[in-house]
């Protein structure tokens, strides 16, 4: 921790644009995804959620999961992961060569039923099988707790429920946890309280965050997260994203906005701003609509007066 | 200060939508402004920058400054202020009954020349006269340092220049200071470093912040500001705003987004969320284009599942 705001020296950013970003979009060709993947790899990012092995009927945009996965071996330095919703998805991911798996469990029945056709308890029951499948393949199973703060159908999620769910998931084999602000309602203090409670209940387990920027507080919450030592943050290029089964959800926090903030706060992300903006521009072109990233629209501050160099912080 | 993030119990938010928000828009009728003013007063805000006494040729949208000012006496509980760019503007504000005056000085010559047709040194020279005019009327003179972090023409503003300017402004009669992130490039650490340096040089003088949300970091910077004890924050309803003489500037941080974050962080703003969203919707209607406030678009989280009450924080 350095500086007046006590921030970590570095974070492990996970790029989720190819999965959470594209899942709500009209399907784009696999080759276009791979072009975006190339652009993302060029930014320096080292963790990429590449796709999801879920029902192609429910999420047609990710129906090419296996084809995407087949192309990942050309990037041996990247930790690729895939999201799954049940043991069958875990098997598909493993068969496709992806052994870093995220299993999503909604913390509230309303979203769980809409998103996965089952209750939270039913989803949790399958956690043991999913993690077992993954562990047998030598992989890592992360449980993402969706609607960890608010459920679009059920309203506020009781923090105790999230803590109990997280603890149970670890007991059932989860190696890592991630708390998802699926509809973009959380704020720094609510985030800090829940993360602190989950950490206390799951001592020694890495707890990451998956934030959306629906109400403007995404980066503020990310800042507060870094201040309490959260080093695992999801973000999506261009701020792509949302959730097809969560009314009111908008994009993830934008990778280039988080990287912009981190650079000037001396928090190392390993990312290159210029290449991030290029990748975000490509993402925008591929989805064919304006993305909401401020850094994409306004550019890095290095471009404000381009003949003048930007000094460190 | 309370909680794991050490935030203040309350802040003094200044609503600047009627000035910074409307100055770049096509002029709207005075009666429409007063309708927006009514809606803003209803939110509970207690500090409102009502207008600017500047050249009506340069800023036609605020040509009705005196007419707006004439209507403010019906709200005796609100601290109304006006921005001025020279002693003549200060006289006009005083004559119109506004004695809380903001005098803007750009910290870099590029923006100063484009914005006010004079260098920073020339603008600073008039500070004594402006504050003297205001003080003779029993008023308060705040100096707003524009482009305190980056100038769209000159690039990064050397922090030492800002500190020297702030110190000199205080010597010339400024009662309060405000640092303006005119083109929305600052981030938490740069903000904290500059505010800390200005405070050290101007001990005992209130230092506020005027933030824009151009690159997504506006609320994160506001959060960090509150953490280092900045209690005076500008915001504009709906995220209205920009600067006609600063290419690339987008809106101020949105009042309802800041209030949303503060409420859930137990920082009292005195503002009512429902009325804020209503005022933002009115602002959007008056300017006739979609505003970028996430809270305006997505609604308060209390509306996510409206039959379920939102618990405290």
Residue A91: count of CB within 10 angstroms of its CB: 17
DSSP assignments along B115-168, one per residue:
HHSS-HHHHHHTHHHHHHHHHHTT-EEEEEEETSSEETTTEEPPHHHHHHHHHH
Within 8 A of B228 by CB-CB distance, chain A residues are 4-5
Candidates B6, B235, B252; CA nearest to A228 is: B6
Residue from the list B150, B188, B218 with its beta carbon closest to the beta carbon of A5: B188
Burial class (CB in 10 A: 0-12, 13-18, 19+), A171: exposed
Q: Is residue A83 part of a domain?
A: yes
Condensed to tens digits (0 to 9), the pLDDT of residues A193-224 reads 999 999 999 999 999 999 999 999 999 999 99
Q: Is residue A32 part of a domain?
A: no
Mean pLDDT of all residues in A72-76: 96
State how far residue B284 is from chain A, nearest Cα, in angstroms: 17
Flag whether residue A44 sits within 8 Å of chain B, measured between CB atoms.
Answer: no
B70 contacts B40 by C-beta, under 8 angstroms: no
Subunit contact A223:B152, Cβ cutoff 8 A: no
Q: Is residue A152 part of a domain?
A: yes
Q: Is the pLDDT of residue B152 over 60?
A: yes
Positive or negative, the CA dihedral A118, A173, A82, A69 is negative
Residue B71: count of CB within 10 angstroms of its CB: 14
Candidates B105, B151, B111, B140; CA nearest to B125 is: B105
Flag whether residue B294 sits within 8 Å of chain A, measured between CB atoms.
Answer: yes
Flag whether residue B121 sits within 8 Å of chain A, measured between CB atoms.
Answer: no
Q: Is the pLDDT of residue B250 over 60?
A: yes
- pLDDT tier at A3, thresholds 50, 70, 90: very low
Instruction: Kindly give the residue spans of alpha helices, DSSP state H, lying in chain B.
Output: 30-42, 65-70, 87-95, 109-116, 120-125, 127-136, 159-171, 188-201, 218-227, 255-264, 273-287, 294-298
Q: Is residue A309 part of a domain?
A: no
- Contacts (Cβ under 8 Å, ≥6 apart) of B268: B9, B10, B11, B262
Flag whether residue A223 sits within 8 Å of chain B, measured between CB atoms.
Answer: yes
Which of B152 and B231 is assigned the larger pLDDT?
B231
Burial class (CB in 10 A: 0-12, 13-18, 19+), B19: buried
The ipTM is 0.95
Q: Is residue B309 part of a domain?
A: no
Active site residues of A: 243
Residue from the list A192, A215, A298 with its beta carbon closest to the beta carbon of B298: A215
Range of the domain at B246: 12-303
- pLDDT tier at B292, thresholds 50, 70, 90: confident
Which residue from B minimizes the CA distance to A185?
B301
Mean pLDDT of all residues in A107-127: 94
Q: Is the pLDDT of residue A285 over 50?
A: yes
Q: How far apart are CA A19 and CA A63, in angstroms?
A: 11
Q: Is residue B251 part of a domain?
A: yes
For the question of residue B243 being annotated catalytic, the response is yes
Place of tokens 């084809």: A67
**Percentage of chain A surpassing pLDDT 90?**
86
The pLDDT of residue B115: 86
Which residue from A minimizes the CA distance to B227?
A5
Q: Is residue A273 part of a domain?
A: no
Provide the total of helices (H) and of strands (E) in chain B, helices listed first.
12, 10
Condensed to tens digits (0 to 9), the pLDDT of residues B68-79 reads 999 999 999 999
Q: Which residue of A2, A194, A214, A215 to mutate against B (max B Cβ within 10 Å)?
A: A215
Q: Is residue A261 part of a domain?
A: no
CATH number for position A174: 3.20.20.70
The pLDDT of residue A250: 75
Q: Is the pLDDT of residue A172 over 90?
A: yes
Flag whether residue B197 sits within 8 Å of chain A, measured between CB atoms.
Answer: no
- pLDDT tier at B4, thresholds 50, 70, 90: low
Q: Is the pLDDT of residue B313 over 60?
A: no
The pLDDT of residue A244: 53
Number of structural domains (chain A) is 1
Condensed to tens digits (0 to 9), the pLDDT of residues B5-45 reads 899 999 999 999 999 999 988 999 999 999 999 999 999 99
| Contacting B residues, span 228-257, partner chain A, CB-CB under 8 Å | 228, 248, 250, 253-254, 257
End-to-end CA distance of chain A: 16
Q: Is the pLDDT of residue B2 over 50?
A: no
State how far residue A264 is from chain B, nearest Cα, in angstroms: 7
Flag whether residue B183 sits within 8 Å of chain A, measured between CB atoms.
Answer: yes
């Amino acid at each position: 921790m350095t500086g007046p705001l006590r921030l970590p020296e570095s974070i492990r950013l996970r790029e989720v644009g190819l999965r959470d970003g594209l899942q709500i979009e009209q399907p784009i060709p696999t080759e276009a995804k791979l072009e975006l993947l190339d652009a993302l790899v060029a930014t320096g990012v080292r963790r990429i959620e590449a796709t999801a092995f879920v029902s192609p009927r429910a999420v047609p945009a990710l129906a090419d999961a296996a084809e995407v996965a087949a192309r990942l071996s050309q990037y041996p330095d990247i930790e690729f992961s895939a999201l799954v919703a049940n043991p069958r998805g875990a098997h598909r991911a493993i068969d496709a060569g992806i052994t870093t798996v995220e299993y999503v469990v909604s913390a509230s029945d309303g979203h769980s039923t809409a998103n996965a056709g089952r209750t939270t308890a039913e989803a949790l029951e399958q956690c043991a099988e999913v993690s077992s499948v993954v562990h047998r393949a030598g992989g890592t199973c992360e449980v993402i707790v969706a609607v960890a703060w608010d459920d679009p159908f059920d309203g506020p999620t009781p923090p105790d429920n999230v803590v109990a769910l997280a603890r149970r998931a670890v007991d059932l084999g989860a190696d890592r946890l991630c708390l998802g602000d699926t509809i973009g309602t959380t704020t720094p203090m609510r985030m800090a309280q829940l993360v602190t409670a989950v950490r206390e209940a799951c001592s020694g387990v890495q707890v990451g965050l998956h934030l959306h920027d629906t109400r403007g507080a995404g980066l503020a919450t990310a800042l507060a997260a870094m201040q309490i030592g959260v080093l695992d943050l999801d973000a999506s290029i261009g701020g792509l994203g949302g959730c097809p089964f969560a009314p009111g959800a908008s994009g993830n926090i934008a990778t280039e906005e988080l990287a912009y903030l981190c650079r000037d706060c001396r928090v190392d992300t390993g990312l290159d701003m210029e290449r991030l903006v290029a990748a975000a521009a490509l993402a925008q072109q591929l989805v064919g609509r304006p993305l909401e990233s401020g850094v994409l629209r306004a550019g890095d501050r290095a471009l404000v007066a381009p003949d003048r160099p930007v000094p460190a912080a």
